[in-house]
Amino acid sequence: MRGLILAVQFLTRLPTPRVPDFRPEELAASAVWFPVVGAAVGAAVAGAVVAGALVDPWLGALAGLLVWVWITGALHLDGLADLADALGAAHRDRQRALEVLRDPHVGAFGVVAIVLVLLAKLVLLALVAKHLAPPGAAPAATVAALALVAAWARFGAVVWSQTLPPLAPGSAERFAWGAGRASLVAWGIALLVASAWLLPPLAAAPLAIGLWWVLLKRRLGGMTGDCLGAGVEACETMLLAVVALALAAP
């Protein structure tokens, strides 16, 4: 249970018991629990959407977005802003991009990236919420779909951390220590089976994860913690669009 507690502490603001005698290598081992924590985050978001949609779809979307930002502590949005600044200011100069990534200040590119992602999630959640009322999708199906969206995104973070070289010391480098490829395969199969059963279009999630891998490899040559956080936001947004379009399909 130590690994699960550490994963919850790292990825969310949820209260957890204290973990005594913490060792750095335990943080890498906790990555096996990331999809579980992601599923819990997605379920909490879905619960807020369902509750708010009882009044109005836009209220459901706003409630879901607020829960999404609060429960993660805007951890991944911070990474998105830093990476957007780095890529926007680098002009394809990899070294310049890494210098900007190390700068804690948020620039114009970062602000625009955060605004666009939050707006995209708000609109997409509203589209999801609109299909909750009969004869639309059942709330249980929506909760499961949003849980899978967040689980896939955090599975992606584990994939990137263990298949791309770390570019700087930090938490991302420590996650790269735990190259548990067997657990990666097991989680990938489990998520694919769940997606194919609950909402087949979500089985395309590995494509989104792969596209982000290619972007990081080509533009930076590796990954940092900010790259992982930005990837979580990007994948969540892409997969949320898949859910919204799937629910809207006749």
Task: Flag whether 22 is in a domain.
Answer: no
The predicted-structure confidence for 165-201, as pLDDT tens digits, reads as follows: 888 766 555 665 555 677 888 999 999 999 999 999 9
Task: Flag whether 132 is in a domain.
Answer: yes
Contact in structure between 24 and 169 (CB atoms under 8 Å): no
Enumerate the H helices of the chain as residue ranges.
2-11, 24-29, 34-53, 57-72, 75-90, 94-101, 108-130, 139-163, 171-177, 181-198, 205-219, 225-248
State the residue range of the domain holding 80: 2-8+31-248
Confidence of residue 5 (pLDDT cuts 50, 70, 90): confident
Task: Flag whether 24 is in a domain.
Answer: no
Q: Which of 144 and 95 is assigned the larger pLDDT? A: 144
Residue 205 makes CB contacts below 8 A (sequence gap 6+) with 148, 152, 156, 191, 195, 235, 239, 242
Nearest to 38 by CA among 155, 174, 143: 155
The predicted-structure confidence for 71-81, as pLDDT tens digits, reads as follows: 999 999 999 99
Residue 135: is its pLDDT beyond 70?
A: no
Task: Flag whether 226 is in a domain.
Answer: yes
Interatomic CA distance for residues 235 and 208, integer angstroms: 6
- Structural domain count, the chain: 1
Task: Flag whether 15 is in a domain.
Answer: no
State the amino acid at position 117 in one-letter form.
V
Task: Flag whether 105 is in a domain.
Answer: yes
Helix axes 75-90, 225-248, angle to 10 degrees: 110
Task: Flag whether 21 is in a domain.
Answer: no
The predicted-structure confidence for 17-62, as pLDDT tens digits, reads as follows: 887 776 766 777 788 899 999 999 999 999 999 999 999 999 999 9
- Mean pLDDT across the chain, nearest whole number? 88
User: What is the reported pLDDT for 83?
Assistant: 93
Peptide bond into 135 cis (omega under 30): yes
